[in-house]
């Protein structure tokens, strides 16, 4: 039995939740998200001492329903956090001559290639550049924010000899020793 799936989700006051045909729609101050939940999972809203709670239960004891139990709870919880607080990822660029800038809503990266790399963010995702070397990505969908940050990092991942490249803020890159000279 999933320990995560058993936990109830507390719905904050500004959040409205609508469940129809296993489609969960959550509205909050930052926006709206919808997700299709497996028919093997039951959703129920309960009222307890001025708080709304969302409880998940499984319909049968099959292996597939138990594996989707904790996943569904985490996905719904991330949707609630997204529409109330939002998610963010921060990247740092290190290297001589490496820089980034914004052109409207497009991110332009100059990271050692013969051409600038242009990235257009998906809908409802915002990119901010500070000091030409710090990139911040904001949005309400945790998956899309993380995927965009991973895509930007993959353009020039940090190399292990000098540490040049794009890395997550606070990421530690283990440096290797180069060739031993004579």
Q: Give buried/exposed letters for 88-123 (b at 16+ CB in 10 A, else e).
A: ebebbbebeebebeeeeeebebebeeeeeeeeebee
Distances (CA, A) of 157 to 52, 94, 97, 121, 142: 44, 10, 15, 19, 21
Nearest-angstrom CA–CA distance, 69 and 78: 15
Site of tokens 């409207």: 104
Question: pLDDT by residue (tens digit) across 28-51?
Answer: 999 999 999 989 888 888 888 888
Question: pLDDT by residue (tens digit) across 73-123?
Answer: 999 999 999 999 999 999 999 989 999 999 999 999 999 899 999 999 998
**Cβ atoms of residues 166 and 158 within 8 Å:** yes
Class of domain 87-168: alpha beta
Backbone angles phi, psi at 79, to 5 degrees: -65, -40
> pTM, whole model, 2 decimals?
0.87
Is residue 178's pLDDT more than 90? no
Q: How confident is the prediction for the chain on average, in pLDDT?
A: 90
Annotation: CATH topology of 3-84: Outer Surface Protein A; domain 3 (3.90.930)
Beta strands in 49-178 (DSSP E): 51-58, 87-94, 99-103, 106-110, 117-119, 125-130, 134-139, 165-168
**Predicted confidence band of residue 168 (pLDDT cuts 50, 70, 90):** very high
| Domain span(s) for CATH 3.90.930.12 in the chain | 3-84, 87-168
**Which residues, in sequence order, are CB contacts of 64 under 8 Å at separation 6+?**
40
């Amino acid at each position: 039995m999933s320990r995560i799936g058993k936990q109830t989700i507390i719905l904050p006051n500004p959040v409205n939740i609508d469940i129809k045909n296993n489609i969960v729609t959550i509205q909050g101050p930052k926006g709206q998200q919808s997700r299709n939940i497996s028919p093997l999972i039951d959703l129920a809203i309960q009222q307890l001492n001025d708080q709304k709670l969302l409880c998940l239960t499984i319909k049968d004891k099959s292996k597939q329903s138990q594996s989707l139990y904790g996943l569904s709870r985490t996905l719904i919880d991330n949707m609630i956090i997204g529409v109330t607080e939002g998610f963010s990822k921060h990247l740092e660029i290190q290297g001589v001559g490496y820089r980034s800038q914004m052109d409207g809503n497009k991110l332009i990266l100059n990271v050692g290639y013969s051409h600038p790399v242009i990235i257009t963010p998906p809908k409802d995702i915002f990119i901010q550049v500070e000091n030409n070397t710090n990139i911040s990505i904001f949005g309400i969908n945790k998956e899309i924010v993380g995927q965009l940050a991973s895509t930007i990092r993959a353009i020039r991942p940090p190399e292990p000899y000098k540490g040049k490249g794009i890395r997550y803020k606070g990421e530690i890159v283990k440096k290797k020793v180069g060739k031993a000279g004579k």
